[in-house]
Amino acid sequence: MRPRRADIDAAKGLAILFVVFGHLVARADPRGVGWYEPLRQAIYAFHMPFFLYLSGLVAAETGMLLRPRAAWPGVAAARARRLLLPFFGLGALVLAGKLTLAPLMHVDNAPASLGAGLNGLLWHTAASPALSIWYLFVLFVVSLASMAALDGRPRRLPWLIGAALALYALPLPAYAYADRIGRYALFFLLGAGAGLLGERWLGVLGRAWKPAMALFLVALGGIALCGRHWPQAPVMLAVGTLSFPALHGFLRQMRDSRLRQSFLVLGRYSFMIYLFNTLCIGFAKGALLRWVSWDGANFPWFATLLMLAGVLGPMALKRGVLVHVPVLDKLTD
């Protein structure tokens, strides 16, 4: 076991804030609010590619990705406990919660029935009632498929990246998350390549983060201002890849400060926040909408409360409840 990398924890902490922000509005936009959707579109151009990059980086640096194919069954079992148990457990919880609460309060993306919800969760996944946790399933598939394809031979990685680039260009159907596997496998493998480069990649981050950050911010501004009809695939490929040196390099050079410490704390709770942020946002939104509208001038403070619910709610749940249940505590670390 290697010690935790503070720069990776900080990067996860920053990334999870973008995830929560993107979940504030699920379906119908608030009326009279013109700034949220352009910002979300800009964030969606890079935030999950950046998460997959970090996942690939960790998979390479811990040695998991270069385990021989003979070790695949044991690794698969461990990855299933880590990723699939939370995926299916939380998916069932979300489905049950939405079916129970839909008659009582506003619920985003409520399934029409139990059968429709299960079908969305497992097969027609574009309509999943728990679509926000797709990353767990995709990471399970991509990491194990990459390990099997590499079979302990790092020289195969460039060929695998080439195959993932070709897969990225294909319009895959939204069955069993195939569309998201094809869209994000490339970023995982690019992160794996960075991890295998080791100190050479860290040197690149130190030299390139400033120009990369300048280009990255210009790209985000362009997307927010006039990117509504830009094609998603090439934009995500360019901006998502640019986020690696920009954001990771920025966080590596950040000196110890309250902001860095905040990112570190969020990074260590990032898995818990990822799992439960939409539930906490949903409860807060359903309660608030019973008393006040989120339209127009109300939305900034409404969105602030939802952000706090999405970040602090899962942290409170972890520290106040799950830490006292060893099985659930371990599953959500």
The per-residue pLDDT of the chain, averaged, comes to 94
pLDDT at 68 over 80: yes
Region 154-171 average pLDDT: 97
Both tokens of 89, joined, read 């457990």
Task: Determine the average pLDDT of the residues in 175-196.
Answer: 97
Report CA-CA distances (Å) from 73 to 62, 87, 196: 18, 20, 23
Contact 23, 310 (CB under 8 A): yes
**Tens-place pLDDT, residues 124-135:** 999 998 999 999
Q: What are the pLDDT digits (tens) for 250-300?
A: 999 988 788 999 999 999 999 999 999 999 999 999 899 989 999 999 999
How much is the pLDDT for 107? 78
Chain mean position to CA 221: 22
- Does 145 score more than 90 pLDDT? yes
Instruction: Please report, rounded to a whole number, the percentage of residues in the chain having pLDDT higher than 90.
Output: 85
Beta bridge partners of 175: 124
The confidence score (pLDDT) of residue 189 equals 98
pLDDT of residue 106: 73
Has residue 121 got a pLDDT over 60?
Answer: yes
The mean pLDDT of 166-189, rounded to a whole number, is 96
Predicted pLDDT at 288: 93
Average pLDDT over residues 164-177: 96
Instruction: For 123, list phi and psi in degrees, rounded to 5.
Output: -130, -70
Q: How far apart (Å, rounded) are the C-alpha atoms in residues 177 and 139?
A: 11
CB 88 within 8 A of CB 280: no
Determine the Cα–Cα distance for residues 116 and 49; give it in Å rounded to an integer. 29
Q: Quickly state the pLDDT bin for 40 (edges 50, 70, 90).
A: very high
**How buried is 145 (Cβ within 10 angstroms: 0-12 exposed, 13-18 middle, 19+ buried)?**
middle
The 10s digit of each residue's pLDDT in 215-259 is: 999 999 999 999 989 999 999 999 999 999 999 999 999 887 889
Name residue, tokens 């720069």.
Answer: 7
First to last CA, the chain: 16
Q: How far is CA 187 from CA 47, 71, 164, 192, in A?
A: 11, 24, 9, 9
- The confidence score (pLDDT) of residue 3 equals 63
Contact criterion met (CB below 8 Å) for 60 and 143: no
Percent of the chain with pLDDT over 70: 99
Place of tokens 């992160």: 191
At 235, the amino acid letter reads: V
Contacts of 327 (CB under 8 A, 6+ apart): none
The pLDDT tens digits of the residues spanning 10-39 come to 999 999 999 999 999 976 789 999 999 999
Contact between 224 and 38 (Cβ < 8 Å): yes
